[in-house]
Every structure is written in C-alpha cells, then in structure tokens.
Amino acid sequence: MLAFLASAALPALRLLDPERAHTFAIRTLRWGLVPGAAEPDDPALAISAFGHRFANPIGLAAGFDKNAAAGPAIFRLGFGFVETGSVTPRPQTGNPRPRIFRLTEDRGVINRLGFNNLGLAVYLRNLAGLSDRNIPLGANVGINKDGADPVRDYRMLIEAIGTLADYAVINVSSPNTPGLRDLQSEAQLRAILHAVAGVAGRPPILVKIAPDLSSDGLASVVETCVTQGVQGLIVGNTTLSRPAGLKSHHAAQAGGLSGLPLQPLATAMLARASLLARGRLVLIGTGGVFTGRDALTKIQAGASLVQLYTSFAYHGPALIPRIKAELLTALRDAGFAAVQDAIGTRARELAEQD
C-alpha cells in the first residue's frame, strides 16, 4: 500500500522540471522514505546469470542513480537488480539545461544529459556503503567529454570498482558524449576490452550498445565481445532516431529517446543480438518496458534480464509489484513454467520487426 501512496505523489512531481523531480526522488530514497517490497518473489521468476542469482529479472537501468546516492532503500523496492552510474573518472556537469524532456503523450523521454555525475571518488564512497545488499548491483562506467583516453580510463574505472559491484558495464553507447558511439567500432572496442580483461579480480563485464547499430556493426560488436571474454550485452541505450507518429511537441528536441517509442527498435535489435550470440553472451533487454507482457517479449527476444527506467519515472514504485505479477501471468498464459524456459523462444520472429 505504501508503494502505491508513493506513486500517488507522481502527479505533483510532474509539475516540476524533470531534472528537479529526479533529484527529489533520489533524496527521498536516500532518506529511506520509500517503502520496500512486501512479499518474496515467486520462484518461477528467478534466474541465474553471470554467477549471480536474481530473484526476479526486472532491474533498474543505469541513469537513475548515477552517483549510487539513493542508498539502501533502492534495493527494497522489489527490483531483481539495480544498476548505478554512469560514472566518469572526473566529475562533470554535463550539457546545459534544460536537458530532459517528457514526451507525455508518447510515454517517452528525450535526454541530452551528457554523463553528468560527481565523479569516481564520490561514486566509490557511495558504493562502499552498499555492501549490505540482498540483490545484485551493477556499475555502469563511461568517459569524460574532455581529456579522455578510453583504453586507459575504462581500465582504471574497472580496477577502481573491483569487488564493490556484482557486474560492470562498459558504456560506449550514450549519444550525448561526442565520439562515444565511435567506440563501438571493432578496433576501438577490442582495444578497450583487451585492456579491461587484464584487470585482476574484476567483476563480470557487460557492454551497453546502441539500438541504432547497423547489422554489420551489431555482428562486429557481438563477435568482439565474445572473443574478448565479455559476459554479456545490454541492448540498448537511447536512440537518436524519431519513430513516425510522435505526438509531443518535444519530439524534435536533440538527444536520446527512451520509453515506449523505443520499444520496437530495441526489441528487434535485442533479438538480432540473441541470434548472433547463440548463447555465448547473457543479454539484458531494455527500452520501452511498461508491462509484464513487455518484459516477456524482451525475454522471448533473448534477454535473461530486463531493465526499466522511463516507465519507472512515469509510474513510480507501484510499477514494480505490478509488472512482476503481470510477467508471472504472461508466462503462465504462454505455457512457460519459469522465466528460463521463455528465453529466446521468439528471437527469430522478433528480429524481423522494428
């Protein structure tokens, strides 16, 4: 009930500038004012991936808690896992405001934040305070806009995180840092991953890719990740494309588009990645997940795990128990006994849709 009361405050928060509303949400979590999940998850929702058990496959995507500042309360909302960041070596303010735009009519968001964060030192202090957690924690890392050396910086970030996170994500797909998406090219990505692979005691490594990759680009990324010992892919980040039919007057804003309009593109890219990976990588699907049926579609496209962000921003904590209940119903309606049984069962079909 308290989760629904917390979500009931969302209409008032939507009267605020999106970035101010987001800051308020982080503070509310840090103060422990948001209630935790009431019931344990059904065992049918459990999944194991890269050496960890997830009580359910629904996770919070990077970008919500950039500085790992929300505190332990974020682990009590009912997510199966939480990913923090993106963090860069040095603090940076990001792009000028306004830089987040709600596309309410389209249930989407456009952002051009530009990796705004407090830097690695603050991030590590906050991560160290989250050691007493009951769900897996991810750390998403990026590079500064100025003065970056990708090979040096990504290696240093992974070394610094060490055992503070259960997995780490190399973010080479944000559209708001100039030149970052160029790091998805075979030669540059291989050099970064080769450097990271040499870090002793590192957590499992995943790579977050853009949904805008070409077919050849996606195939190259998948093979490079496999040969360099990467454990998984997150598919995908925000898109620079603008699907036909967007209604919001913010649709022409520059930046990356997330939310429901991204769903077809991201799901098709996920399915194509699944077919290319052939079980050699763990896939996390994100982009436009608003319901349990949306989550099942991502799983059937090839995802073992699913992440939310925009839908969580629109619906708040009450979304989490609802989406898990809907996923359980959708699984049973489709004849699956557990999440594991559904992975990739529609990959070939969904790869043809976008």
Task: Report the candidate in 313, 271, 308 with the shortest Cα–Cα distance to residue 291.
Answer: 308
* Confidence (pLDDT) at 11: 56
Q: Count the Cβ atoms, other than its own, within 10 Å of residue 299.
A: 29
Q: Is the pLDDT of residue 13 over 90?
A: no
Confidence of residue 39 (pLDDT cuts 50, 70, 90): confident
Q: Is the pLDDT of residue 30 over 90?
A: no
Told to judge if 220 belongs to the known catalytic residues of this protein, a careful annotator would answer no
Share of the chain above pLDDT 90, in %: 90
Instruction: Tell me the sheet residues that pair with 258.
Output: 109
* Confidence (pLDDT) at 6: 47
What is d(CA 334, CA 304) in angstroms, rounded to the nearest whole number? Answer: 17
* Confidence (pLDDT) at 15: 61
Chain segment 221-245, per-residue pLDDT in tens: 999 999 999 999 999 999 999 999 9
Q: Is the pLDDT of residue 324 over 50?
A: yes
Task: Report the candidate in 52, 60, 56, 57 with the shortest Cα–Cα distance to residue 42.
Answer: 56
Q: Is the pLDDT of residue 38 over 50?
A: yes
Which residue among 173, 174, 248, 311 is the active-site one?
Answer: 174
Chain segment 248-287, per-residue pLDDT in tens: 999 999 999 999 999 999 999 999 999 999 999 999 999 9
205-209 and 81-87 as β-strands: parallel, antiparallel, unpaired? unpaired
Does residue 336 come out as left (phi exceeding 0), alpha (psi in the -120 to 50 range) or beta?
beta
- From edge to edge, which strands make up the β-sheet containing 100-103? 100-103, 108-111, 256-259
Q: Is the pLDDT of residue 192 over 70?
A: yes
What's the mean per-residue pLDDT of the chain? 94
Going through 123-268 in order, the beta strands assigned E by DSSP cover 137-141, 167-171, 205-209, 232-235, 256-259
Chain segment 88-112, per-residue pLDDT in tens: 999 999 999 999 999 999 999 999 9
State mean pLDDT over 66-88.
96
* Domains in the chain: ranges and CATH: 2-351 (3.20.20.70)
Torsion over CA: 187, 174, 64, 318 (sign): negative
Instruction: Give residue 197's identity as a one-letter amino acid code.
Output: A
- DSSP letters, 124-138, are HHHHHTT-S-SS-EE
Look up the pTM and report it. 0.95
- Higher pLDDT: 15 or 115? It is 115
Instruction: Tell me the sheet residues that pair with 52.
Output: 49
